[in-house]
């Protein structure tokens, strides 16, 4: 038997031994040295050990029994001090050990930044079980604080684990965003938001100046003077291949131990693998290539041919609830194209990088279910030109190849975890279903599965479908119409992300199946385009429903209604006289006072519209947009002008609001009201946006309804001044314009995104509120115009093209 | 055939329509996105909605009142709805819209 000596009991060398013992159990007499006083364990699982989700015993890969069964001589806790290549021996505290073949698997060392104070007790790295135990011990002290230097994979796993142990944790990262080697800025932002939501403080572009303390760590000082008091500093800024031993022995070493594709070093009897090697200019830090190397090395030792090649790598972060995926190359370059998908409300971001019709990189955050599918295409170099339009939506949207997701769920064992947030496994969900919880809400109420982050909602629905069979109807995402498989939300996102600024761009780029849409999608697309690109896109009357094209409500007999605007419900004797004259002149059969505090002239013939508009324009009146998916009215009470209870000038504010908002297009109609006191005579609490004046200012409520559904407004915010009430209103209308599905009233849209989501952007984030209001105002420079005036000048287009009844009579 | 000139193609907006009053009732002249012209009855057989006010998509129009969809080529109602609108001969000559008057008179005689 040949003598095989292995230096380092890590994951790579452990895998080599597994392969060898499987194929040729009697070929080698193995001696295994390890500087750590223990055998091989799964280092990837240190994070769950740190967070308390697993114990050390659970992550041991090779226990004492395994080594004994395979007759491995274990020399744990004994570091190798030197290698004599000429005499083929290794030297350690226990003397010299001869070898026929030698494997070096010394791994890597954590890189410690030589900051002042880096050697203080309490400064540790994060590489092995001892580091992990040291962190656990410090975290058990009440009120303990930690600073993690390094916002990469390892640093963030350490930070999340320490936070779960109850420590106050601050992450310092030198780059502009977290995990910059695996994520782009957008995904880095979402990751940061998720970490902050669990109580971790993140400081990017942080330049650490020193670690200070008297005999132990007391604080970290940044270059900008910030002082962060702490009891623990975790240095996780990277690793360096551990190659000194090989270098001292005289082996060829570059950045790491140089090996060929058979894992052979410059000495024919010495092999190396893992994080300590360099192959064709590459060094390695993730486990997948290490396992490939182990397979190759085992074959090489058995005199079989095999070749190690460098493959694309995918990264996942092992922090429960932070779902990210990154693979390939996603740097920007001139010859590359991006496909980007964002859903800010769900915190989902996906970016695909294409070069020459092939996928070369993918970054995903929030929803990584399709990660492996994309990764497969990166590795295979698949030509994606055929499926490019729908590529980002994943395999479910590609014809033919769609796998049945239910079969995979059906095959899951009962103890398979479905909801990571609440630790709910499939068996518990099935039990709940059998106990009568037959829909998502029922499952959430009984098991809490999918009730936290919600990312497992799809899986829970699939468990429902598998268990209930035909009794369960899977809620499917509704596409806009038959012209496309995309949902409204998808289309809105793509219009923004792909900067689609014309209808033809939408049809083309989003793969519409019809030449120019249909009556369902065209009005929606027309709105999305004019809302997102007010300056670039020109409103298309031919994509509007008849009421909006003819600026009046069509009645069942084909006549129209005409409603002039009365700002804030205030009119004058002169206006009323002009309305009465118009009603006489055009034989208006019905004159009605509307619920929106104005006057409706019903039964006007189409060819009379330009004339009546002209007359009303001449009296100083403009269209009331009583027909539009846009601002309708601002209803008011008389407020402080006349009312003895009024607290503010509600009429004045109503007029200002209507002057601010009129002419704007919105996903559905928008009605406002302002009441001068909580008696609420203007009925502001059932409007899309309603303001109640109080002594201290203005209570702004949103999401009311009094139509098909009856709903009371919910409080958006209280503001002290009229200016702020106006700004908040403009910002709210704009965020609704930018995000809602066409034909969703604000209350429906708010139910989807959540009022908190709206508050964050419209109330809490002042800068964002101003930006929204500014974008609204920009759009209003185009749309705050009376549509009647230009049409009144084109009266002929409202008349028949020809009248052959007259010609025939002649 | 007795073609009469009733106006210019450009009098109708693309994906839009204009009405011609005739003795057989209102006829809607449609100009589609690909600049083809169709003449059909302006009256929806369902509730009499003015088809010329509908949204024009492809070679189809959707009635503004209750969203019935008709083929401009055949006059057939599409989808689940059953109905038929009259179609008339129309052509474009040097940018002018030409309607066949004999057809209108024949229809009125019938």
pLDDT in tens, A81-128: 999 999 999 999 999 999 999 999 999 998 888 999 999 999 999 888
A473-482, A660-669, A753-762: least confidently modelled range = A473-482
Classify domain A631-783 at the CATH superfamily level.
Sulfite Reductase Hemoprotein, domain 1 (3.30.413.10)
Chain A residues within 8 A of B98 when measuring between CB atoms? none
Provide the pLDDT confidence category of residue A452 given band limits of 50, 70 and 90.
Answer: low
pLDDT of residue A402: 41
Q: Which CATH number fits domain B3-109: 3.30.470.20, 3.40.630.10, 1.10.260.40, 2.102.10.10?
A: 2.102.10.10
**Residues A459-464, mean pLDDT to the nearest whole number:** 83
Give the gap in angstroms from C-alpha A664 to the nearest C-alpha of chain B. 22
Does residue B106 have a pLDDT over 70? no
CATH architecture of A323-397: 2-Layer Sandwich (3.30)
On the question of a common fold for A2-108+241-301 and A112-237, the answer reads yes
Contacts of B50 in chain A (CB under 8 A): 554, 558
What's the confidence (pLDDT) of residue A471? Answer: 74
d(CA B91, CA B99): 7
Reduced to 3 states (helix: H, G, I; strand: E, B; else coil), residue A714 is strand
Phi, psi of A237 (to 5 degrees): -100, 0
Nearest to B62 among A516, A519, A542 (CB): A519
Q: Which range has the top average pLDDT, A50-59, A399-408, A615-624?
A: A615-624
pLDDT for residue B110? 41
% chain A with pLDDT above 90: 55
**Domain range A405-471, its CATH number among 3.40.50.720, 1.10.10.1100, 1.10.10.10, 3.30.420.40:** 1.10.10.1100
A677 marked ligand binding residue: yes
Q: Which of A138-152, A283-297, A498-512, A522-536 has the highest mean pLDDT?
A: A522-536
For chain A, give every domain's residue range: 2-108+241-301, 112-237, 323-397, 405-471, 488-544, 548-623, 631-783
pLDDT digits (tens, 9 = 90+) for A295-354: 999 999 999 999 998 877 777 666 666 778 888 877 777 788 888 888 766 778 888 989
Instruction: Write down the CATH number for the domain with range A548-623.
Output: 3.90.480.10
- Whether the CB-CB separation of B99 and A589 falls below 8 Å is answered with no
Give the one of A514, A516, A801 whose C-beta lies nearest to B19's C-beta.
A801
Q: Is A681 annotated as a binding residue?
A: yes
Residue B91, helix vs strand vs coil: strand
Q: Which residues of A303-330 are buried (b: 16+ CB within 10 A; e: fewer)?
A: eeeeebeeebbbbbbbbbebbbbbbbeb
Beta strand B3-8 with B96-100 is antiparallel
The complex's ipTM works out to 0.91
Angstrom distance (rounded) from CA A601 to CA A622 = 14
Averaged pLDDT for residues A215-237:
92
Give the pLDDT band of residue A150 (cuts 50, 70, 90).
very high
Rounded mean pLDDT of A786-793? 92
Length of chain A: 810
Name which of B20, B62, B69 is nearest A801 (Cβ-Cβ): B20
> Are B55 and A556 inside 8 Å of each other by CB?
no
Tens digit of each residue's pLDDT (9 = 90 or more) over A488-515 = 888 888 888 888 899 988 888 888 888 8
Mean predicted confidence (pLDDT) in A145-171: 91
Instruction: Please tell me the distance from the alpha carbon of residue A583 to that of residue A589, in angstroms, as a whole number.
Output: 8
Q: What would the mean pLDDT of A176-188 be, rounded to a whole number? A: 83
Q: Which of A801, A808, A810 to mutate to test the interface with B (most CBs of B within 10 A)?
A: A801
Judge whether residue A790 has pLDDT over 50. Answer: yes
Instruction: Find out if CATH 3.50.50.60 is the number for domain A2-108+241-301.
Output: yes
Pairwise CB contact (< 8 Å): A800 & B19: yes
Rounded distance, CA A561 to CA A774, Å?
Answer: 34
The per-residue pLDDT for range B55-93, each reduced to its tens digit, is: 999 999 999 988 899 999 999 999 878 899 999 999 999
Q: For the segment A84-95, what is each residue's pLDDT rounded down to a tens digit?
A: 999 999 999 999
Tokens of A297: 């090395």
Across chain A, what does the average pLDDT equal? 89
Query: A58-62, A438-442, A498-502, A548-552: which has the minimum mean pLDDT?
Result: A438-442
- Residues B7, A801: C-beta atoms closer than 8 Å: yes
pLDDT of A516 reads 87
Residue A75, both tokens: 């020399």
Does residue A215 carry a pLDDT above 50? yes
Q: What pLDDT was estimated at residue A455?
A: 54
Residue A670 has pLDDT above 70, yes or no: yes
Domain parsing of chain B, residue ranges: 3-109
Instruction: Using CB atoms, pick whichever of B14, B64, B65 lies closest to residue A542.
Output: B14
CATH number for the domain formed by residue range(s) A112-237:
3.50.50.60
Residue A292 DSSP code: H
Interval A19-28 mean pLDDT? 89
């Amino acid at each position: 038997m040949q003598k095989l000596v292995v230096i380092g009991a890590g994951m790579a060398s452990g895998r080599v031994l597994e392969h060898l013992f499987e194929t040729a159990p009697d070929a080698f007499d193995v001696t295994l040295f390890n500087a750590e006083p223990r055998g091989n364990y799964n280092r990837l699982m240190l994070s769950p050990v740190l967070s308390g989700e697993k114990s050390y015993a659970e992550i041991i890969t090779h226990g004492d029994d395994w080594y004994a069964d395979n007759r491995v001589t274990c020399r744990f806790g004994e570091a190798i001090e030197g290698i004599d290549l000429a005499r083929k021996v290794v030297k350690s505290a226990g003397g010299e050990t001869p070898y026929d073949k030698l494997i070096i698997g010394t791994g890597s060392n954590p890189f410690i930044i030589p900051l002042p104070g880096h050697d203080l007790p309490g400064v540790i790295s994060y590489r092995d079980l001892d580091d992990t135990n040291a962190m656990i011990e410090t975290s058990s002290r009440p009120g303990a604080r930690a600073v993690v230097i390094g916002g990469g994979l390892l640093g963030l796993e350490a930070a999340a684990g320490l936070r779960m142990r109850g420590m106050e944790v601050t992450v310092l990262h030198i780059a502009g965003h977290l995990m910059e080697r695996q994520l782009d800025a957008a995904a880095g932002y979402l990751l940061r938001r998720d970490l902050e939501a669990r109580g971790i403080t993140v400081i990017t572009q942080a330049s650490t100046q020193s670690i200070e303390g008297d005999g132990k760590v007391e604080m970290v000082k940044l270059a900008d003077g910030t002082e962060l008091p702490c009891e623990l500093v975790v240095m996780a800024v990277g690793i360096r291949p551990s190659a000194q031993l090989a270098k001292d022995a005289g082996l060829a070493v570059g950045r790491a131990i140089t090996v060929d594709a058979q894992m052979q070093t410059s000495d024919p009897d010495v092999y190396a693998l893992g994080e300590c090697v360099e192959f064709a200019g590459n060094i390695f830090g993730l486990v997948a290539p290490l396992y490939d190397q182990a397979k190759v090395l085992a074959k090489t030792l058995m005199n079989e041919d095999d070749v190690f090649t460098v493959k694309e790598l995918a990264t996942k972060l092992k922090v429960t609830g932070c779902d990210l995926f990154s693979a390939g190359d996603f740097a920007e370059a001139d010859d590359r194209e991006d496909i980007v998908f964002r859903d800010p409300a769900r915190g989902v971001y996906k970016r695909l990088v294409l070069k020459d019709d092939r996928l070369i990189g993918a970054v995903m955050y929030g929803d990584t279910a399709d990660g492996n599918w994309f990764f497969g295409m990166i590795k295979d170099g698949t030509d994606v030109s055929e499926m490019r339009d729908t590529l980002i939506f994943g395999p479910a949207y590609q014809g033919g190849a769609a796998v049945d997701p239910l079969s995979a769920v059906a095959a899951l064992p009962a103890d398979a975890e479905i909801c990571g947030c609440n630790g709910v496994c499939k068996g518990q969900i099935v039990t709940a279903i059998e106990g009568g919880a037959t829909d998502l809400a029922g499952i959430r109420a009984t098991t809490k599965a999918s009730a936290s982050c919600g990312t497992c909602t799809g899986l829970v629905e699939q468990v429902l479908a598998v268990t209930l069979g035909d009794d369960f109807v899977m809620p499917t995402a509704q596409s806009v119409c038959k012209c496309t498989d995309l949902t409204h939300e998808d289309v809105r996102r793509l219009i923004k992300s792909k900067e689609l600024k014309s209808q033809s761009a939408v049809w083309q780029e989003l793969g519409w199946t019809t030449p120019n849409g249909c009556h369902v999608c065209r009005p929606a697309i027309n709105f999305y385009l004019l809302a997102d690109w007010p300056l670039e896109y020109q409103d298309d009357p031919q994509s509007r429903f008849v009421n909006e094209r003819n600026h009046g409500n069509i009645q069942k007999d084909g006549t129209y209604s005409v409603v002039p605007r009365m700002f804030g419900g205030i009119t004058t004797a002169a206006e009323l006289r002009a309305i009465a004259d118009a009603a006489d002149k055009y034989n208006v059969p019905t004159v009605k006072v509307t619920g929106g505090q104005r006057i409706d002239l019903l039964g006007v013939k189409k060819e009379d519209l330009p004339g009546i508009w002209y007359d009303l324009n001449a009296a100083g009146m403009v269209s009331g947009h009583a027909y539009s998916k846009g601002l309708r009215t601002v209803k008011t009470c008389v407020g402080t002008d006349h009312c003895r209870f009024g607290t503010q000038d509600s009429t004045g504010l109503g007029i200002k609001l209507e002057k601010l908002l009129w002419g704007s297009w919105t996903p559905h109609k928008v009605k406002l009201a302002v009441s001068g006191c909580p008696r609420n005579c203007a009925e502001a609490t059932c409007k899309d946006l309603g303001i109640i004046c109080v002594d201290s200012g203005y209570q702004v409520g949103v999401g009311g309804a009094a139509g098909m559904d009856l709903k009371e407004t919910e409080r958006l915010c209280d503001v002290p001044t009229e200016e702020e009430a106006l700004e908040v209103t403009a910002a709210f209308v704009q965020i609704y314009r930018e995000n809602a599905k066409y034909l969703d009233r604000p209350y429906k849209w708010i139910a989807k995104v959540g009022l908190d989501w709206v508050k964050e952007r419209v109330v809490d984030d002042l800068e964002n509120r101003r930006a929204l209001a500014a974008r609204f105002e920009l759009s209003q420079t185009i749309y705050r115009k009376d549509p009647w005036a230009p049409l009144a000048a084109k009266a002929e287009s409202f008349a028949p093209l020809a009248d052959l009844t007259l010609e025939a009579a002649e | 055939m007795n073609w009469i000139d009733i106006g210019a193609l450009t009098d109708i907006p693309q994906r839009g329509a204009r009405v011609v009053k005739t003795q057989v009732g209102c006829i809607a002249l449609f100009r589609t996105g690909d600049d083809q012209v169709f003449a059909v009855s302006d009256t929806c057989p369902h509730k009499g909605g003015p088809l010329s006010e509908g949204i024009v998509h492809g070679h189809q129009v959707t009635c503004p009142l209750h969203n019935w969809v008709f083929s401009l080529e055949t006059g057939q109602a599409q989808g689940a709805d059953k109905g038929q609108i009259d179609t008339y001969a129309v052509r474009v000559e040097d940018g002018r819209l030409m309607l066949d008057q004999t057809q209108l008179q024949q229809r009125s005689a019938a």
